[in-house]
Amino acid sequence: MKRLLILITIFSWALGISAQEKGKVKTVEDTYLYEIPSNVSYVQACQVALVKAQNAAIEKEFGTTVTQNDVVIMNNDSGQSKTSFHSMTSGQVRGVWLGDVVEPKFERILDEGRDLLKVTVKGKIRELVTAGVEFEAKPLRVQPDKKLSSDTFKNGEDFFLYFKSPVDGYLTVFLFDILSNQVFSILPYQSSGKGSFAVIHDKEYYLFSAAKANPEDGEVDELVLTCSEGNTEEYNNLYVIFSPNNYAKISSTTGQKQLSDDLIIPSSLSYKEFNAWLTKYQQKDEQMQVERIPIRIENN
């Protein structure tokens, strides 16, 4: 009986530590005012202002983590020793935006010659108590070459994604078309039938390239980005979602559409449905990391 009591005490203590390490999840709301630079389009300004508003809400609730790097440089010039000291500080919000509770609201304001954008956000956030996996994700244009990383594409150009993770895990990729408010499921590949794409640690992946695919990847979907006729440019958001824990992507509500023998539109769902799924999964899996990459498509 005594031994059992000790084991229970230790187990309860371990559970207490685990609970303390979990980040708090809270619902927050904030308004942010952003001055639109003259060389930035309205759509670009909305994306920048949205991130700033979300970060401002997180900072008010959980604060920021400030790091300082001190560097001492010693030079010997013509027999004379010179020492210089540099100190650099950087801050990072101590939380992550899990998802919107209410869709963001944007209001453009002209104030004495200033072009302002007022953004109101309301969503769920989680406190960061441990560092997540730092993976590498880069959109590539024209060819599957890491040197050709870009977030701007021409109408009709091929799209590839470079990915590398320091740990094994599972990956999904979605493309949010802001104009249609639809989110396209682009990884796992359309014919795979799997809930996520398995990733091996330290291995370089050139996704959406049949030439650089691995045999276990299955049939590869090769992507082409297009801009609607009549538009000079369009903006999409690429969502790269990775976790060391196995998970399954959300089911699409609109199936893929066959445009020709070798051209299809990927399956999709509404942004509202995607946002609800992502918010729920991030609350369940604290190791899930999401990187949102803005993509610009220019019409020729």
Encode the chain (300 residues) as per-residue pLDDT tens digits: 334 333 333 333 333 333 345 678 899 999 999 999 988 888 888 888 998 999 899 889 888 754 444 444 445 555 555 544 443 333 467 788 898 999 999 999 998 889 999 999 999 998 877 667 889 999 999 899 999 999 999 999 999 999 999 999 999 999 999 888 899 999 999 888 889 999 999 999 999 999 998 888 888 999 999 888 888 888 899 999 999 999 999 888 887 777 776 777 888 899 989 988 998 888 888 889 999 999 999 987
Residues 86-91: contacts with CB under 8 Å, at least 24 apart: 90/66, 91/64, 91/65, 91/66, 91/67
Residues 197 and 121 in one domain: no
Q: List CB contacts of 229: < 8 A, sequence separation 6 or more.
A: 299
Secondary element (H or E) of residue 291: strand 289-298
Distance CA 69, CA 11 (A): 40
What's the pTM?
0.72
The whole-number pLDDT of residue 181 equals 86
Same domain, 103 and 162: no
* Residues 173/187, Cβ–Cβ less than 8 Å: yes
Contact (Cβ atoms closer than 8 angstroms) between residue 46 and residue 116: no
> Does 153 lie in the same domain as 293?
yes
The conformation of residue 149, written as its DSSP 8-state character, comes to B
> Residues 298, 157: contact at Cβ < 8 Å?
no
HSE at residue 193, side-chain half, CA atoms within 13 A, is 1
For residues 46 and 193, membership in a common domain is answered with: no
**Considering the domain boundaries, does residue 16 fall inside one?**
no
d(CA 234, CA 297): 5
- 46 lies in some domain: yes
Same domain membership, residue 103 and residue 205: no
Please tell me the number of Cα atoms within 13 Å of 271 on its side-chain side. Answer: 18
CA angle 249-149-227, nearest 5°?
Answer: 70
Regarding whether 161 and 267 lie in a shared domain, the answer is yes
Domain boundary among 106, 129, 152: 129
Q: Is residue 6 part of a domain?
A: no
Question: Do residues 237 and 178 make contact, with C-beta atoms less than 8 angstroms apart?
Answer: yes
Dist CA 155 CA 226 (whole Å): 5
101/221 same-domain check = no
Structural tokens at position 188: 């796992």
Q: Which residue among 129, 162, 189 closes a domain? A: 129
Q: Is 137 buried (19+), middle (13-18) or exposed (0-12) by CB count in 10 A?
A: buried
Task: For residue 91, tell me if it sits in a domain.
Answer: yes
Q: How far apart are CA 140 and CA 160, in angstroms?
A: 5
- For residues 131 and 171, what is the distance between their CA atoms, to the nearest angstrom? 18
| Spatial separation of the C-alpha atoms in residues 53 and 253, rounded to whole Å | 30
Question: Is residue 101 included in any domain, yes or no?
Answer: yes
* Judgement on whether residues 282 and 174 belong to the same structural domain of the protein: yes
Residues 191 and 278 in one domain: yes
Provide CB contacts within 8 A for 283, sequence distance 6+: 25, 98, 124, 126
**8: region left, alpha or beta (phi > 0 left; psi from -120 to 50 alpha):** alpha
**149 domain-assigned:** yes
The amino acid at 104 = P
The domain tally of the chain equals 2
Residue 272 and residue 164 share a domain: yes
Residues 101, 26: Cα–Cα separation, whole Å: 11
Q: Are residues 151 and 271 in the same domain?
A: yes
Q: How far is residue 47's CA from residue 42's CA, in Å, rounded to a whole number? A: 9
In a domain, 9, yes or no: no
Domain containing residue 48:
24-129
Q: Which of 89, 109, 129 is the last residue of a domain?
A: 129
What's the confidence (pLDDT) of residue 14?
A: 35
Q: Is residue 69 domain-shared with residue 146, that is, in the same domain?
A: no
